[in-house]
Structures are given as structure tokens and as C-alpha cells.
Structure 1
Amino acid sequence: MPTLHTYDYAVIRVVPRVEREEFINVGVIVSCPSAGHLQAAIEIDEARLQAFAPQLDLVALRPWLDAIVAICEGRAEAGPIAQLPPRARFHFLTAKRSSVVQTSVTHVGRTREPAGIVEHLLERMVRVPR
């Protein structure tokens, strides 16, 4: 029987006007220490985001979202944070902040397939239901 892994995840949100606390989900971050797994994925529905916040500069937003993925992957160009242990990177990325790019509170789940959880969460939490 495959091992059942516990994982933590947070939803990545774009909050165009922080004072209004309105947001659109654009990605997820998943940490599964027992499987050595830390991954983030971003999917921006540009038409939806532009309808929600026409004043938002998507070109300026993209590098901030890409940095989350780079930090999770531990890329050198992502700076010293990306060189921390995976769990420390997850905690850094999910820390509470008041900015245009935020994360939800951290949630917990269990899976037999840590590699497939990001796709599952994107489908459930980010993509518009069909």
C-alpha cells in the first residue's frame, strides 16, 4: 500500500486593492516534507483578472508571481531565500503580508501522490469551474 503523505498548501492570490480585501486566486504552493516536495504553480486567467481589476498592470505583476515559483524550485537567481531549506521557504512564502500578491492561510491535506497535488489544487482552487 502506498504511503499516505501529509502536506500543507496555500492559495496564491492577487489582491488589486488591498483595502477592499477582494482577490482572485492565481496559484498554489504545496509543501510535503515527508516526500521532499515543495512546488508552486501559477495560472493567470488574464481576461478574468482584467475584468476584475482593469487598472492592474499584469506585466508588472508577473515577475512577483514568477519569483514564488523560483523560490520553491531553489533557483540561484531567486536570491538567498531560495537557498533556505524547503520548509523555511514555504513558511517565508506563506507569511502574512499586505501587498498585491498574498497567500491564503495554510491548509493541511493528505495524499498518496505528492507530485499530483498541485494539479488537483489548481483545478479545485484556481481554475474557473466548467
Structure 2
Amino acid sequence: MPPAMDLFEYAVVRVVPRVEREEFVNAGVIVYCPQQQFLRARLELPAAKLRVLAGPGLDAADLAARLAAFERICRGRPDGGPIGQLPLASRFRWLTATRSTVVQTSAVHPGLCRDAAETLDQLFAQLVQ
């Protein structure tokens, strides 16, 4: 009998360099699987693609810092600030809440997986790379 499948949820992390234009580039994926006590983001700043959309005013260092905050919050350590100290589900809901900023997330999508880390890698390859 194959191992049981666990419910997981994911969202795509998007960088929207000019919010008024509603153009974005996928920069990562966040996966949450409560049964596996798993919350992790895999992120990559697509600087070359973003320069095409944003022009020369792109602040890559600021964007990299914003993306790094997502990873710190997922890890749930003190360097994640007050949000990083919340329970796993609350951190995921906070990270995926609707916002009108330069870094946004897609709608949350469900799925089933055996290994949440492997699923994160697969989604990152399909949706970002």
C-alpha cells in the first residue's frame, strides 16, 4: 500500500514592480502542509526579467530583502519578527494575505503530496524557473 497523501496548500510569490500596471514576475513558491509540520518558501529574484518591466529604477537590494523576509517568517525563528513567532497556519495565512505592494502572492491552491519538500521543488521548477 502506498504511503498516505497529505493535504498541502501553496501560493506563488510574485514581484509586481509597477503595481499600477499589474504586471508581475513569479519569484517563488510557498508550501504549507500541516500534517508534515511544513512551511517553507523557495524564492529567487528574477532581476533580469524585472528590469524589463520596471526599467532602470528597480531596487534589486530592496526586493531581495523583501523576499528574504518571507523565508525568515516561514522558518519561525526570532529573526522572523513577531509574525515569525505565530503558529504555522497563522504564518502561512499572513504571508498569503492579499496586499497591494511590490511583493504579492497568488490565490492559495490545494493539493495532495507525500513529501512537502519535494512538492515545493517541483512547484518551483514548474512555476518559477
Alignment of 1:37-48 (within 5 A): 37-48=38-49
| 1:103 Cα deviation from its structure 2 partner | 0.3
* Cα offsets for 1:46-100 (capped at 9, x unmatched): 2222222222110111111100000000120121110110000000000000000
8 Å CA contact 2:14–2:24 kept in 1: the answer is yes
Equivalences, count: 127
Q: What is the distance in 2 between the residues matched to 1:126 and 1:4?
A: 24
Q: What is the distance in 1 between the residues matched to 2:47 and 2:58?
A: 10
Q: TM-score, normalised by structure 1?
A: 0.93
Q: What is the distance in 1 between the residues matched to 2:39 and 2:80?
A: 15
The one-letter amino acid of 1:125's match is L
The one-letter amino acid of 1:11's match is V
* Cα offsets for 1:100-122 (capped at 9, x unmatched): 00000000111112121111011
| 1:45 Cα deviation from its structure 2 partner | 2.4
Alignment of 1:1-130 (within 5 A): 1-54=2-55, 55-127=57-129
The one-letter amino acid of 1:26's match is A
Which residues of structure 2 form unaligned runs of 5+? none
Which residues of structure 1 form unaligned runs of 5+? none
Stretches of 4+ aligned residues off by more than 2 angstroms: none
Q: What is the distance in 2 between the residues matched to 1:3 and 1:35?
A: 12
Cα RMSD (Å) of the superposition? 0.9
The one-letter amino acid of 1:23's match is F
Q: TM-score, normalised by structure 2?
A: 0.94
Q: What is the distance in 2 between the residues matched to 1:4 and 1:10?
A: 19
The one-letter amino acid of 1:126's match is V
| 1:44 Cα deviation from its structure 2 partner | 1.9
